[in-house]
Each structure stands twice: as C-alpha cells, then as structure tokens.
Amino acid sequence: SDLREQEERGELLRPLCFVLLVLCSVLLYFKVSLMDPGFVKPEEEAKAGEAEGQSLVMPQATGEVKLQRCGYCLVKQPMRARHCQLCQHCVRRYDHHCPWLENCVGERNHPLFMAYLGVQLVVLLWGGHVAWSGLSFQQSWEWLQHNIFLLLSFFLIVTFTIVVLLLLVSHLYLISCNTTTWEFMSHHRISYLRHSERENPFDQGIILNLWRFFC
C-alpha cells in the first residue's frame, strides 16, 4: 500500500530514473570496453578510407607523406592509426588506451566513450546531490561517527566528478579541433603532422568537426 501511495504521488519516478541511468552507464562501460575500437586488419589495408584520410593531409604537406608499415604487427598503418602495445593491434584514429576500460579508444568506440562519460557525469552529479542532501552538519563526535561513511562517499563522488568532468571537457575540445589525444600530445613525433604546413590539417571548423564525429 505504501508503494502504491508513493507511485501515485510520483515519488518512485526519480529513483527509477536514477537506477536506469546507472544501468545505462554500466551497459555503456561494457560496450566500450569489449567492442573493437577499430583494429587494423591485414585484409583491410587497401580500404578507401585510407585514401580519404590521405587527401585531407597531402595537399597541405610540404612533402609526400607515405603510409608506414607497423614494426610490430606488420600491417600498413592508415593515416592517424597507431600501434597499441597493450592491445597488440594497430588502431584506426587512435586516441588513447584507457586503463579503466582495459581497451583502446579509437575510431569505432570513441563516440560511445563520450556518451559513457556524459551519462557517468550525470549519475555522479545526481549521487552527489543525494549525498549532500542527506547531511545535516553538527559539531559533535557522535554525529561524525554516524555520518562518516556518508561524508566519505560524498568526497569520493566529488573527486570522481572532477575527473570525469575534466575528461569530458578535454575530449570535447579535441573533438571540436578534429584531433586526438595522441596527436595533441605527440605532434612533433608524427610524420604527417610534422610535414604539414598547418598545425592541424584535419581541422574543418568546429561545427563540421563535431558533426562528422557524432553524426
């Protein structure tokens, strides 16, 4: 009867939405961590996508940029691919290897990775709000004993919220510039960027960069 009354008052809607968000976050986590991030396979070396990737760079390069063969897995690397020694594969549009996911973030799972970060941030902010609303501060040792776990949970949520927010903002910035974490951090080591007349030959404007990435 109590559940029915709470349902009629709409009090079950918020916890139900929170549980669904948590479930969505968990499903996205497993999806991103278990899926193929864009491994380069030997039979895919001559795909048309490679020619498209070259055409973005070649007109703006000071010299001819040739595709290199990976010294580890011996496949011809497409433009913007990199070999990950942890995954033992070359990954298309390699961004980084995420230790939390135990998988690379690359061409195929990068948009889902962004969705995961977005949902995770909403869950953390909601959880932080719930934890904060449950605190009523009093200056007594007895109060601290009864609320120590709630306080620790709140500070833990705040820490993870800051980390996820920084990750989300930094990735959105890189996506808006049409660059990857690896290209941003190792610009001087990448041949097709070193030989380019522009700092980022892939940049086509913020709107088009975001559209091509998410759509």
> Which residues belong to the active site?
98
Taking a C-beta distance cutoff of 8 angstroms, is the pair 178, 203 a contact? yes
Contact 28, 81 (CB under 8 A): no
55, β-bridge pairs: none
17 burial type by CB count under 10 A (0-12 exposed, 13-18 middle, 19+ buried): exposed
Q: What residues contact 214, with CB distance under 8 A and at least 6 apart? A: 111, 114
Mutual angle of helices 13-34 and 110-133, in 10-degree steps: 150
Reading the block at residue 23, the tokens are 């479930």
Residue with tokens 């501060």: 137
Left (φ > 0), alpha (ψ -120 to 50) or beta: where does 40 sit? beta
For residue 110, which of 207, 182, 15, 186 has the smallest C-alpha distance?
182
